[in-house]
Structure 1
Amino acid sequence: MKEDFLHFLWQFKKFDLAQLYTTQGEKLTIISSGLYLQKAGPDFFNAQIVIGAQKWAGNVEIHRKSSDWYLHNHETDPNYDNVILHVVWEHDMEVFRKDNTELAVLELSKFVSGKMLENYQTLMMDKTWIYCEKQITLVDGFVLDNWKERLFFERLEKKSRLIWNTFSETLNDWEALLFCLLAKNFGLNSNGETFLKMALSIPFQKIRKESFEVKNLEALFYGRVGLLYNENEDVYFQDLKGRWDYLRNKHILKRIYVDPVQFFRLRPSNFPTIRLSQLANLYHSKPNLFSKIIESKSLAEFYKIFDVSASDYWSDHYQFDKQSRRKEKKLTNAFIDLLLINTVVPLKFAYAAYVGDDISEEIVQLLSEIPAEKNIIIDKFRDFGIVANNAYETQALLQLKNEYCNKKRCLECGIGLELMKN
């Protein structure tokens, strides 16, 4: 028997409340089960109960066995001095406070129905992927939709917290923050951290000053990630190398150490050479990008903002001095969708919170217009009958799998709670 199940039983009072009594034989009435704060100290704070004729207010501690009180050394911890009730599944010994008075104990196993135990055992039975895989389609659609909405905003808030860390590194400059976040996402998983270090190492005012000439931006980006330090006879390479030598001296840019950019196992369209050129062209062609993004709301507006291509040199190259079949290297709608999901939407959400606005409906509407993401997690949910229709729903399902299913938080999950109730 796991403690999270006991927490669930106590929090939602899923046991026979009419005939409760303590292990000492005194009648027990629960007025309030208290607040489940999930912090250090007792499990539930500010509970109110009546034992016999005496009303008590204080904290409740929950364990599988009474002896766990001593196993966890609560008898020496002053945080547990105001515990008024010890809730356990199995009462295997008496527990005493520091003043030698006996602590009242509720042995839950005597008051929980067989059906409730069956529901729990069914929910936590052997799985191939997630515990509720055989039951998840039984959950009412209204309940599931409400839980998806909460999951979506949980994931968005988590992404926003990561944004604030970068915000301080950009000296609270929103334009600089956007540049850093876009750089990271242009690099995808393989080169994202290297691109982010590159972006953080170039003061954004330098980007503003050099944005009139796209080759200057390319030189800054390629130089910063170490792509211009090799010898190469390519004319375009030599031009950028000369610009890089001039710009790093002009802006007093000290050399930084970053992980080498990766080409291996990447599709050519995702090569760092192509993505950095597209990023350079974005900042060359779209001044005041942050303002445009904050003001835009529809998917069509964002597709227009990110309608950029790599420089013409890259139309028949993927790497320096290696010619390929000619093809315009334009940002695809699928890649723009990734930028919106991972950069634009979290940034807009964080900025709205910063200025005190609520753009929840706007964000849900935007993500609902974006096609569903394709990955193994979304495919597996579909196999078990949960089909995501758009990016709003896929983001919710990713949060569900990563933060609840993987961490076995079934009794904190809206789906798990609904299955237990039924």
Structure 2
Amino acid sequence: MLPALSPVQEEFLYFIWQFQYASTATLTTTDGEVIEVHHPGFRNHNAGPDFLNARLRIGGVEWVGTVEAHVKTSDWLLHRHQGDRAYDNVILHIVWQHDRPVPRPDGTYLPTLELAPITPGTLLTKYQALTQGTDAIPCAGQFRMVKPLRQTAMLDTALMQRLERKADHVKFVYDHSGQDWEETAYRLLATYLGAKVNAEPMEQLARVLPVRLLHKHRNSLIQLEALLFGIAGLIPIEADTNDDYTVVLRREYQFLAAKYGLADKQLPVHIWKWGKLRPAGFPTMRLAQLARLVQEHGSLFSVLIGSSDTPTLLKALQVMPSAYWQTHYRFGKAANKVSSSLGEAAAEGLLVNTAAPLLATYAKHKDAPDLLDRAIAILEQLPPEDNRITRLWDEIGLHVRTAFDSQAAIELYNEFCTPKRCLNCQIGMALVRE
């Protein structure tokens, strides 16, 4: 009985072709020509045909070229490959369902291999069990069947992919910061302090208020705060708050704004969000902490990448803001008890999400593998993140013990499980193959 022509993704076709899982010793085209596979080709993850440098014998003729895969033969026309010269060297079209011949520009027809009739039913069943289930993690019910060594190998792959992806973002910030590592570190740190809710306004603030300007006033914390709160648009007008600190801050900002021509760079106050935030995460607290970090550390970049000792790094980041922000969460409103320092959990998150990617990017820039090793070591020395995703993994038997594990688990979930790219995952591949 033939496998049902139920929907499959192209990745299933790649999987069958790459590992030659068709259930017949003799492959034939839809025109009846015998196909001998000397090499299926190398998977192409960039633009163009799906497999490169394939070596085939079709109908007794040797061919070297590319192989393209589609769910239906007509997808060739739907994707407009007929007018793309990059596909002129395709020697075989592999499809799940052959619904029409595809002509080449010279009028001949593209050799086509239909996989649905020759795919083992058990293979299709296992694949569909993963991709058509409703579990947040497709392999949840089978995860414990996979050998721990294979699980670990996939976590290593996911972690390196996550670092590479984050490094691409750091490189983007670096290129848009005048290729200045100090400015890059400052922008990344500011954005992280904004968390998800205020990451965008913090990133905007760091763009319009460069760290080199802040460095000119490192000897005066009140001036650093005046610059940060002033550009943020958060200093209250005189009619709203007139305590001693705010009066001084307002006066300092007016002077500095005039000196540096900052008036037109001030952000609108409405872009800052306060709802659903704990007071310790208010924009005012984060800016006060940022001011103290800039004052205490001449080079934020050196702090973030300069030490392989994680406890030392954590201690350097857990700063206490100025006296006013030890008794206030917002301007003019004193609180009985204020959690004002950058806490250990926030410092750990900063290392995971800022220092490690920054180190990985700098390692690539300098071609220094030891710096990449240091980035990984930071993650291995920090406790795991505790969130919805890590708890899902824990429930099915993946014990997340370090930040290395949690970052890998998050990447695996977001980039493989959620889009159901199971056959790009060593765990999913093992479950289908075995």
Matched, 1:19 2:30: no
Match of 1:267 among 278, 282, 305: 278
What is the alpha-carbon distance in structure 1 between the residues aligned to residue 155 and residue 352 of structure 2?
A: 16
**1:174: Cα distance to partner?**
1.2
Matched, 1:250 2:259: yes
What is the alpha-carbon distance in structure 1 between the residues aligned to residue 134 and residue 411 of structure 2?
A: 19
Distance verdict in 2 for CA 1:209–1:121, change over 3 Å: same
Distance verdict in 2 for CA 1:353–1:68, change over 3 Å: closer
What pairs with 1:126-141 in structure 2 (closer than 5 Å)?
A: 126-141=133-148
- Of residues 203-212 and 85-94 in structure 1, the stretch that sits farther from structure 2 once superposed is 85-94
Match of 1:279 among 283, 287, 290: 290
Matched, 1:162 2:169: yes
**1:241: Cα distance to partner?**
0.5
- Residue aligning to 1:79: 86
Q: Deviations over 1:95-126 (max 9, x none)?
A: 43232323322222333222222221222232
Match of 1:381 among 382, 385, 393: 393
Given residue 314 of structure 1, which amino acid in structure 2 is its aligned partner? W
Distance verdict in 2 for CA 1:70–1:228, change over 3 Å: closer
- Count of paired positions: 422
Given residue 197 of structure 1, which amino acid in structure 2 is its aligned partner? Q
- Residue aligning to 2:424: 412
Per the normalisation by structure 2, the TM-score is 0.91
Please list every run of 5 or more consecutive structure 2 residues that lacks an aligned counterpart in the other structure.
1-6
- Of residues 83-92 and 205-214 in structure 1, the stretch that sits farther from structure 2 once superposed is 83-92
Given residue 136 of structure 1, which amino acid in structure 2 is its aligned partner? F
Q: Does structure 1 retain, via aligned residues, the 8 Å contact 2:188–2:354?
A: yes
Distance verdict in 2 for CA 1:202–1:116, change over 3 Å: same
Please list every run of 5 or more consecutive structure 1 residues that lacks an aligned counterpart in the other structure.
none
Match of 1:346 among 347, 353, 357: 357
SS of structure 1 residue aligned to 2:263: coil
Matched, 1:318 2:329: yes
Distance verdict in 2 for CA 1:330–1:92, change over 3 Å: closer
Distance verdict in 2 for CA 1:308–1:55, change over 3 Å: same
Match of 1:114 among 121, 129, 133: 121
What is the alpha-carbon distance in structure 1 between the residues aligned to residue 59 and residue 96 of structure 2?
A: 21
What is the alpha-carbon distance in structure 1 between the residues aligned to residue 108 and residue 187 of structure 2?
A: 60
Matched, 1:299 2:310: yes
Q: Does structure 1 retain, via aligned residues, the 8 Å contact 2:29–2:35?
A: yes
Given residue 394 of structure 1, which amino acid in structure 2 is its aligned partner? S
- Of residues 335-344 and 87-96 in structure 1, the stretch that sits farther from structure 2 once superposed is 87-96
Q: Does structure 2 retain, via aligned residues, the 8 Å contact 1:281–1:310?
A: yes
**1:219: Cα distance to partner?**
0.6
Q: Does structure 1 retain, via aligned residues, the 8 Å contact 2:29–2:111?
A: yes
- Residue aligning to 1:370: 382
- Residue aligning to 2:155: 148
What is the alpha-carbon distance in structure 2 between the residues aligned to residue 265 and residue 95 of structure 1?
A: 56
Matched, 1:237 2:237: no
- Residue aligning to 1:197: 204
What is the alpha-carbon distance in structure 1 between the residues aligned to residue 75 and residue 183 of structure 2?
A: 52
- Residue aligning to 1:402: 414
Q: 4+ runs of 1 displaced by more than 6 Å?
A: none
Distance verdict in 2 for CA 1:31–1:17, change over 3 Å: farther
SS of structure 2 residue aligned to 1:18: coil
What is the alpha-carbon distance in structure 1 between the residues aligned to residue 78 and residue 191 of structure 2?
A: 47
Given residue 111 of structure 1, which amino acid in structure 2 is its aligned partner? I
Distance verdict in 2 for CA 1:115–1:357, change over 3 Å: same
RMSD across aligned positions (CA):
2.0
Per the normalisation by structure 1, the TM-score is 0.94
What is the alpha-carbon distance in structure 2 between the residues aligned to residue 89 and residue 328 of structure 1?
A: 60
